Amino acid sequence: MSRKWRLLDTGPRPAAENMALDEAMLEARSRGWTPNTLRFLQFDPPCALVGYHQSVEQEIRIEFCRAHGIEINRRITGGGGLFWDRSQLGWEVYAPRDYDGLPRDVEELYGHICQGAVQGLAELGVNAQFRYKNDIEVDGRKISGTGGTEVDGVFLFQGTLLVDFDVDTMLRALRIPTEKLKDKEMESVKERVTCLAWELEAAPALDQIKAALARGFARILDAEWISEPLSPAEAQLLDEKLPSFRSDEWVYGVRRSLASRQELRALRKTRGGLLRASLVADGQAGRLKSLLLTGDFFAYPKRTILDLETRLKDAPFGMGNVRRIVEEMFADGRARILGVTPDDIVLTIEEALAKRDLFRYGIDPAEVNNIFTVVKPFAEMPQPGFLLLPYCAKLSGCDYRYREGCAACGLCSIGAAYELAARYGLQPVTIQNYEKLEEVLLEQRSAGAEAFVGSCCEPFYAKHRDDFERIGLPGILVDLDSSTCYDLGRQEQAYQGQYENQTELRLSLLEQVLAALTNGHRGGESDNAPV
């Protein structure tokens, strides 16, 4: 016999209200005041939401959102940045973790509940599948992102279903990495995202979509729906929580970047998402002064990351101490970050700490986070034989954009990079895509090159770092200016089926790196350290 669940439709609401409702409803359910619930939600006005563990500054174009009436808020669940407008429908499931018939393992639980949405979509004529770790996709294109959290044995699992999709506003509101937009692997956003309107030619009526999803969830939860409004207890909790969810402290303060010139950063692609470590180290005392771990991962309990940061604050960073603290934190299995291992965390922190070494080679301390090394650390880097330059730094109308060469016309930063290459005796090579990069690295290695210097954006480095390590040629990569055309005010040239962005090389940093390598960076160290 099916079991009674509440079906609740809270309609379009502002971001702070929806975020506060998540917490109010989870709390009310965990105190036994409310029944198991399926909630449908929408957002009005439109909003950009970061995941609980993310930094707003890193994920959202704050100025654009403010200028266009797009609210900014933070979810109580993990995961990545999202743009919501009225053309998206949210769904949420609230129930105890030990609810009969549901998997006990949190990853299996998420996969199971997603089957409800998959079945609902099938009723609408869309053949979707669950994709690890938290997406529902149609032929490889994401139609729904999901995420969850829990309090006192009760979980909230939520998803967003793209009914229609305003790609252009989403691209302007969120800091989607340039690399994701322009890489040949992703010719356009439409190759990785879809919505009901694109799948079905026209979006079904909202009531029809909700009814289909409700039937899908009823099957996998063995539930019978009773339509009921918010309870008075939930409404009161909502009133109490709303001021906090409207505050800057909640939206910006939870994961505010360290805003220090001495901040050291590193990032690592893990199975559970991108993990970023930002820290300030006291080199003389050998201690971590502060640490921020952010990313689009899911941590259980939600406080895990904050607790780990607290344990590591002021801790000595030598002699394996960081590893010991991190491993202890996860030793009893109660704290968990899906797809992120203690080793991932330790290596990311160690890599950020290693950026201190660059101070000694005359690299501007404010720029050390824009340098990534592969295969060997900076101090052991052999003399480079060639300079890798990304095609996207060439003027979008330039005859050389998709081929080797440069006429040094002065209209982009590539001409100056060619001059640098000539001065330091390096062969410049233009890279159009990952396949070309791999081909060049293998060819140069066979031809006897010992190392390279190059320029690429941070997301490209994060995505292909394993490939660089596999190919095995040591190198130093300098981050591109991360501005996309949206930051540069060239949005009219942007997404029109194909992204044609132009990036800028960090020429001064490239020169500092080449000078350090050429002047004998092991012998000619200069102490540029800020501490």
By CB under 6 A, name the binding residues for ligand SF4: 394-395, 398, 400, 406-409, 411-412, 414-415
Q: How far is the CB of 115 from ligand SF4 (least distance, A)?
A: 51
Q: Report which of 406, 439, 413 is spatially closest to residue 507, judged by C-alpha positions.
A: 413
Cα angle 223, 224, 228; round to 5: 115
Starting from the edge strand earliest in sequence, which strands make up the sheet with 3-13, in order? 129-131, 135-138, 141-151, 154-162, 88-96, 37-43, 3-13, 223-227
Query: Minimum Å distance from CB 510 to ligand SF4?
Result: 15
**Would you say 69 or 410 has its CB closer to ligand SF4?**
410
Nearer to ligand SF4, 82 or 392 (CB): 392
Q: How far is the CB of 505 from ligand SF4 (least distance, A)?
A: 10
- Least spacing, CB of residue 451 vs ligand SF4, in Å: 24
E strand or H helix at 266, and its extent?
A: strand 264-270
- Sheet containing 47-50: order of strands: 71-74, 47-50, 82-84
Q: Which residues pair with 50 in a beta bridge?
A: 74
Beta bridge partners of 427: 386
Residue closer to ligand SF4, measured from CB, 405 or 425: 405
Closest CB to ligand SF4 among residues 252, 400:
400
Residue 500 C-beta: closest distance to ligand SF4, Å: 14
Q: Assign 525 to helix, strand or coil.
A: coil
**In the complex with ligand SF4, which residue's Cβ is closer, 375 or 416?**
416
CB of 405 to ligand SF4, least distance (A): 8
Nearest to 482 by CA among 468, 465, 464, 461: 461
Q: Which is nearer to ligand SF4, 156 or 398 (CB)?
A: 398
Q: Where are the alpha helices (DSSP H) in 390-433?
A: 414-423
- Please state the closest distance from residue 403 (CB atom) to ligand SF4, in A: 10
Among candidates 409, 412, 447, which has minimal Cα distance to 427? Answer: 447
Neighbours of 112 (CB within 10 A): 17
Shortest Cβ distance from residue 17 to ligand SF4 (Å)? 49
What is the number of alpha carbons within 13 Å of residue 412 lying toward its C-beta? Answer: 24
To ligand SF4, the closest distance from the beta carbon of 414 in angstroms equals 4
What letter does residue 329 receive in the DSSP assignment? H
Name which of 410 and 523 has its Cβ closer to ligand SF4. 410
Query: Which residues are bridge partners to 511 per DSSP?
Result: none
Query: CB atoms < 10 A from the CB of 438, how many?
Result: 16
Residues 6+ apart with CB under 8 A from 331: none
In sequence order, the 6+-apart residues with CB closer than 8 A to the CB of 509 are: 363, 364, 367, 370, 371, 478
Nearer to ligand SF4, 333 or 397 (CB): 397
d(CA 329, CA 340): 13
In this complex, which beta carbon is closest to ligand SF4, that of residue 168 or of residue 481?
Answer: 481
Q: Quote the least distance from Cβ 162 to ligand SF4, whole Å.
A: 38
- Closer CB to ligand SF4, 407 or 531, in the complex: 407
What is the number of other CB atoms lying within 10 angstroms of the CB of residue 405?
A: 13
Number of H helices, E strands in the chain: 17, 21
Q: How far is the CB of 493 from ligand SF4 (least distance, A)?
A: 15
Contacts 24+ apart (CB under 8 A), 238-242: 238/17, 238/20, 238/21, 238/24, 240/24, 241/20, 241/23, 241/24, 242/16, 242/17, 242/20
**Selection from 197, 180, 198 nearest residue 189 by Cα:** 180
Output the smallest distance, CB 488 to ligand SF4, in A.
16
Return the amino acid letter for 497.
G
Closer residue to ligand SF4 in complex, CB, 237/421: 421
Q: Name which of 8, 135, 20 is nearest 82 in CA terms.
A: 135
Q: Which is nearer to ligand SF4, 113 or 412 (CB)?
A: 412
From the CB of 476, what's the least distance to ligand SF4, in Å?
Answer: 22
Closer CB to ligand SF4, residue 285 or residue 407? 407
